[in-house]
């Protein structure tokens, strides 16, 4: 019998073409979902804990979700690894910050993974997040630096990789679990971005935990992760939290108000300028969205 959170229940490892591959104590089972889910507008996701029919061919029930993301389409995440490369493609801190904010808003621990440090140093990118309270792991495949830290975050958790195509997600998964023999992409130097090599989310049991390999996505699609109301946005930037309640005005938006403690912290170098600029951009974008649309 599964516990209330479904921690001991079978889970969906992959869904493709209307079939769902459910990992159980007895092994992987190919299942279909009951029609009632479609009528309710519910789509089973990789990571869902489920109850199967007695013969193990149908998903009868999807247990309550801890959280869910649209992109990558996965449920019940504990950790979201946001993978960025130092070069090829050059990282966008705004895209990274949107991913991190979405994770925090969904009660998922974000961890920034910086790849290709053997090609270009990670100093600037790493400095942007030094005071963010968001863990940063820099990887070097030549020396193996960072891999043990990464394995530590995977153990005991359901984790997912996300990040633009070409940043090295498949290569990283190959390194963590060579037996999976994942296809790795090649970089299009002309376009400066990677070709999509992963089509569906698939969960693997590796490093004492469960890891979801996720499709690459274009930077503009990061907006589809979730909508964060502008009033809640400050809570998605953990480095701002120490200054809450210190602003001159109640309900300070931390943008133009006089006596803003967050802006003072930015001026004092306690909040990275790139992070603060991302907050302003995301606040403006959130202000343009009608709440009834979400």
90-111 per-position pLDDT tens digit: 778 898 999 899 999 999 999 9
pLDDT of 9 reads 87
Do residues 124 and 90 lie in contact, with contact meaning Cβ atoms separated by under 8 Å? no
Q: Which of 71-80, 209-218, 228-237, 244-253 is the least confident region?
A: 209-218
The model's pTM: 0.81
Helix (H), strand (E) at residue 39 = helix 35-39
* pLDDT tens-digit map of 18-77: 999 999 998 999 999 999 999 999 999 999 999 999 999 999 999 999 998 877 788 999
The pLDDT of residue 186 is above 70: no
pLDDT (mean) for 235-254? 95
The rounded distance, in Å, linking the Cα atoms of 110 and 186 is: 26
- At 228, the pLDDT band (50, 70, 90 cuts) reads very high
Q: Flag whether pLDDT at 3 surpasses 60.
A: no
| pLDDT at residue number 158 | 95
Q: Which is higher by pLDDT, 215 or 271?
A: 271
Tell me what the pLDDT averaged over the chain comes to.
83
pLDDT for position 37: 95
Tell me how far CA of residue 203 lies from CA of 46, 84, 200, 244, in angstroms. 7, 21, 10, 38
Q: Of 151, 156, 158, whose CA–CA distance to 175 is shortest?
A: 151
Whether 196 and 165 have beta carbons less than 8 Å apart is answered as yes
More confident residue, 219 or 56: 56
Structural domains of the chain, with CATH: 11-65 (2.40.50.140), 69-223 (3.40.50.300), 227-293 (1.10.40.50)
| pLDDT value at 83 more than 90 | no
Which are the contacts of 111, defined by CB distance < 8 A and separation ≥ 6? 79, 80, 81, 82, 134, 135, 136, 137, 153
d(CA 48, CA 61): 10
| HEC per residue, 228-248 | CCCCCHHHHCHHHHHHCCCCC
Alpha carbons 258 and 248: distance in angstroms, whole number: 7
Q: What is the pLDDT of residues 115-162, one digit of tens each?
A: 866 555 666 788 889 889 899 998 887 888 899 999 999 999 999 887
- Decide if pLDDT at 219 tops 50: no
Which of 47-78 are b and which e, b meaning 16 or more Cβ less than 10 Å from the residue's Cβ? bbbbebeeeeebbebbbeebbbbebbbbbbbb
Q: Which two tokens stand for residue 155?
A: 């153990």
Tell me, what's the pLDDT at 121?
Answer: 61
* pLDDT, greater one: 215 or 46: 46
């Amino acid at each position: 019998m599964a516990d209330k959170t479904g921690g001991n229940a079978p889970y969906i490892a992959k869904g493709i073409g209307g079939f769902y591959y459910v990992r159980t104590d007895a092994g992987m089972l190919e299942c279909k979902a009951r029609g009632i889910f479609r009528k309710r507008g519910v789509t089973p996701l990789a990571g869902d804990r489920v109850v199967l029919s007695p013969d193990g061919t149908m998903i009868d029930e999807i247990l309550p979700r801890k959280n869910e993301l649209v992109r990558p389409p996965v449920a019940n995440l504990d950790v979201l690894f946001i993978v960025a490369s130092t070069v090829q493609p050059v990282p966008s801190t705004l895209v990274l910050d949107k991913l991190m904010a979405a994770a925090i808003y969904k009660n998922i621990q974000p961890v920034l993974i910086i790849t290709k440090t053997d090609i270009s140093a990670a100093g600037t990118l790493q400095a942007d997040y030094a005071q963010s309270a968001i863990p940063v792991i820099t990887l070097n495949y030549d020396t193996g630096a960072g891999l043990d830290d990464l394995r530590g975050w995977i153990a005991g958790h359901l984790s997912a990789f996300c990040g633009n195509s070409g940043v090295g997600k498949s290569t990283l998964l190959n390194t963590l679990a060579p037996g999976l023999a994942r296809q790795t992409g090649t970089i299009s130097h002309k376009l400066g971005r990677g070709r999509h090599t992963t089509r569906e989310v698939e969960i693997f049991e590796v490093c004492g935990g469960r890891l979801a390999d996720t499709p690459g996505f274009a930077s503009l699609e990061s907006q589809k992760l979730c909508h964060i109301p502008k009033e809640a946005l400050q809570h998605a930037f953990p480095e701002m939290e120490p200054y809450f309640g210190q602003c001159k005005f109640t309900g300070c938006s931390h943008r133009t108000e006089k006596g803003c403690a967050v802006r003072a912290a930015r001026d004092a170098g306690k909040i990275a300028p790139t992070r603060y600029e991302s907050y302003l951009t995301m606040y403006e974008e959130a202000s343009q969205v009608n709440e009834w649309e979400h």
